[in-house]
Amino acid sequence: MSDVIKKESCCGTIDQSSSTAFPRVNRLLDRFFDIKPQLCIERALAYTKSYKETEGEATVIRRAKAFKRACEEKSIFIADDELIVGCAASVPRAAVFCPEHATGWLREELDDLSTRRQDPYDVTEDQKKVLREEIFPYWEDKDISSHWLRQIPDEVKEIAVKTGIIDIEIKTQSGPGEISPNVKKVLQKGFLGIRQEACEAMNGLDIVNPADYEKKNFYEAVCISLDGVMALAGRYAKLAREKAAAEASPQRKAELLQIAENLEHVPANPARTFMEALQSFWILQICCYIEANGPSYSPGRVDQLFYPYYRRDTDQGKLTDDKALELIECLYLKFAENTWFLSTNAAMYFAGYQPYQNTCVGGINRDGKDATNELSYLFITAKMEVRLHSPSLSVRVHKQSPEKFLRKVAELSQIGTGFPAIHNDEVTIKMMLMSGAGIEDARDYCMVGCVEPYIPGKMSKWTDGGHYNYGSVMELALTNGVSVVNGNRRLGVETGDSTKMSFEELKSAVKEQLAFCIKHIATACHICEKQHAEYTPYPYMSSMIDGCIESGTDITRGGAELTVGPAFIGTGIADLADSLSVIKEFVFDKKVIKMEEIVEAVKNNFAGHEDLRAFVESNGRFYGNDDDYVDEFVREMTDYAFEQITSYQSYRGPHYISGLYPVASHVPHGEVVAALPYGRLQGTPLADGCSPKGGTDVKGPTAVLKSVSKINHDAHVAGTLLNMRLDPMSSQGEEGNARIVSLIKSFIDLNIYHVQFNIISSDILKRAQESPHNYKSLIVRVAGYSAFFTELCKEMQDDIIQRTVQEF
């Protein structure tokens, strides 16, 4: 498997074979690649039984009791060689099913779950029986999805459900996610300390006051939830001692006893060592997945969080860099065991079994000085050696970033796994200030999910409140609101006959369609937010977000110190801009094409208009080539989207926020868009994020950066995404490393928010399509995340292959 990739590296591909020096990590990696994702229903069964027993109690109390029961009853295991232990599901890479969010889709798809085209999960007949007889009947019409579908207006449902023009269903199928809890607080105080805070706050309440009564319920729920977490840790400690007693190997016996000792102390108490800190965090992490099947539970700035423990242990001679690296690599393997469970439709928007756990290193500290330390390099090295899809690794860079650090970042990029994502401190800090953070907190930002900036431990921020489709917006403006792929139904607003419009009138029609989509997302999103607040509060996660215990309020009701969003995410801005560019140049400026021809070509997928398609593809001016003629459309339309999005208020209080990253939505969004004027055919993927459309950006990587720099990145505070694919041959060796560093420096100077590099040849990707069994470990960058190439459906694979390869 890895050997095949390694042998081909001499032919211009990148060596992705694992190169860790630790035998235990190699054994764990070998076992990982033998695991097939499957469904776990233990959590669903525990919640169902608990909910049946707590009918009539306060919702937040019911949630806490169900969570505690799941912690007490779930299957646990400690695998051979593990040093960091714990799993959210009953087995690694199993999906944790949360029926209180959505059961309808699984009921409909259960028999096809193991064979669907994207992210299939094995499911047994016994599991199907339990689901159909015990779980589905109880939750029918009680889950978030059912409440949401009953409450959204018909006109919203018409465009928002299963059309692909806008998509909001994801937050009805899972917990809100996009959280970086206050890990530092847990490491310093332990859950006993946080529990004591909740108890002390509860003591001063008078339940004759209705507001105090609600707070009392919240504090009780926090205490019950934290008792569940500590009970789970205790179960793992007991299991470790039992395994140690039966272990013949003295080395493994000592390791198991150390694991037991760690878990008897953390996460209940403050961490004392580097290993305890990692283990404490990991119990915290898996319990997020037990409480809610959500995305993007992220630890934050790992090099800053764990540095005091690393420094103390190394100064005292208790820890070497080799041992620290081995522990980090073991932690990375645990990250890769988590997954996020979604319907067939949603899996296409978030393809690749990706839970979007984001670790972050580098950047400046709260005082504005460079924060790079020894752990920054160790976390990067671990990512170079343990080449898995999760966790994501983001790096923060700035004009004073050490040259050594930038070269290390480039070295990781050269491997070709798509890691790391690179973020510009100057731009991101402005985003955080615009989000309401103070300057010190803004400097301390981390990443969650794909590319979303976040203030760790202080912020509650949905970053996937809804996806909208710039390609559809263009189509609807041309067709007077009619969606060709959706059965020629009028799903947009009637903006008039595009063949009789001036160019400015056409742009106004595009904006009207865009505003129409955003308005409907806002309606559907605030109703969804309300359902979570009423039916699925999250007392465990709330206990780790500053402001919630202080106010006695759950994150779903705005209890966080800083509540931001949700975010509305736009896909395919390059497709819209390229279409407007072709229309302006050839219909209105040069008058060599009639508008009627454009509209007919769009409706007929260029059938009978092949010469027109060839002409615009050969002569058009496209985004990504540092051409203001087309780049200005990108800026204008994204600015307009920002204005529309931020004009609406969310259920929790703040205005909605804007983002430009696709996750994987550019593929399913493209499937429902007719042909577009610049030559794109019906059903093919859109451009991802604020990246150019593959094959149109032909003037080199610097021109791409210059085009992308014209977007007002700091306005889109949910994040923007730039994918670049670099030529493997010119990216190799010391010269290639220097070229990548130079590109990163240009990215910083141009005030772009984010960039990431795919460095892998098309030949090896095509071979992986033909012989997937030989390429199980091959990782590629999809959008704001990486995935195993052979675990992506062919449509996703083809999209990655067709992206422009930029040569230096």
**Catalytic annotation, residues:** 450, 452
Looking from the CA of 389 toward its CB, the CA atoms found within 13 Å total: 30
Residues 6 or more apart in contact with residue 789 via CB below 8 angstroms:
765, 768, 775, 778, 779, 780, 797, 800
- Contacts of residues 195-204 at CB distance under 8 Å and 24 or more positions apart, as own/partner, are 195/222, 195/223, 195/226, 195/227, 197/549, 198/222, 198/223, 198/226, 198/543, 198/549, 199/223, 201/549, 201/550, 201/552
Kindly state the tokens that stand for 438. Answer: 């103070």
3-state secondary structure string across 264-280: HHCCCCCCCCHHHHHHH
Residue 688 DSSP class: P
Spatial contact of 292 and 174, defined as CB atoms under 8 Å apart: yes
SS3 annotation, 94-157: EEECCCCCCCHHHHHHHHHCCCCCCCCCECCHHHHHHHHHHHHHHHCCCCHHHHHHHHCCHHHH
The two beta strands, 754-758 and 421-424, are antiparallel
Beta-strand (E) ranges in 343-431? 358-362, 392-397, 421-424
**Residue 636 in tokens:** 């204008």
Residues in the chain: 808
How do strand 562-564 and strand 567-571 relate by DSSP bridges?
unpaired
Q: Collapse the DSSP code of 724 into the 3-class scheme (helix H, G, I; strand E, B; otherwise coil) and give the result.
A: strand
Residues 725 and 804: beta-carbon distance below 8 Å: yes
The residues facing 725 across adjacent strands are 758, 805
User: Which of 703, 715, 702, 802 shows the shortest CA–CA distance to 762?
Assistant: 802
Q: Backbone phi, then psi, for 247, in 5-degree steps?
A: -85, 130
Calculate the CA 669 to chain-centre distance: 17
The token duo for 699 is 């003037």
Is-contact 371 304, C-beta < 8 A?
yes
